Amino acid sequence: MKLILTTIANAKVAIVESSEPANEKKGERYISEDCLKVNVASGEFYDISDRGWNPEGRLFMMRGEEEELQIS
């Protein structure tokens, strides 16, 4: 599984763990585990994996992006 910087649900910035390839034409980018750790440690992203919105793996939301997020 790879970590992908992407947008989800109304263009909210997120990092998802997925076995699917990044869609680089839509601006998705691969990031490293170290990059994820730095962004979580700085508070820029936070872990919302426990909500079950990404059945493939972990999900991290950019701080301030969740206010209007609703995933069914």
* pLDDT tens digits for range 1-43: 999 999 988 889 999 999 999 999 999 999 999 999 999 999 9
Is residue 68 included in any domain, yes or no? Answer: no
Give the span between the Cα atoms of 59 and 15, in whole angstroms: 6
Is residue 13 included in any domain, yes or no? Answer: yes
Residue among 3, 35, 49, 8 at smallest CA distance from 22: 3
Give the span between the Cα atoms of 36 and 4, in whole angstroms: 10
Q: How many structural domains is the chain composed of?
A: 1
Confidence of residue 69 (pLDDT cuts 50, 70, 90): low
pLDDT at 72 over 50: no
Residue among 17, 21, 20, 14 at smallest CA distance from 3: 17
Is residue 47 included in any domain, yes or no? Answer: yes
Neighbours of 71 (CB within 10 A): 13
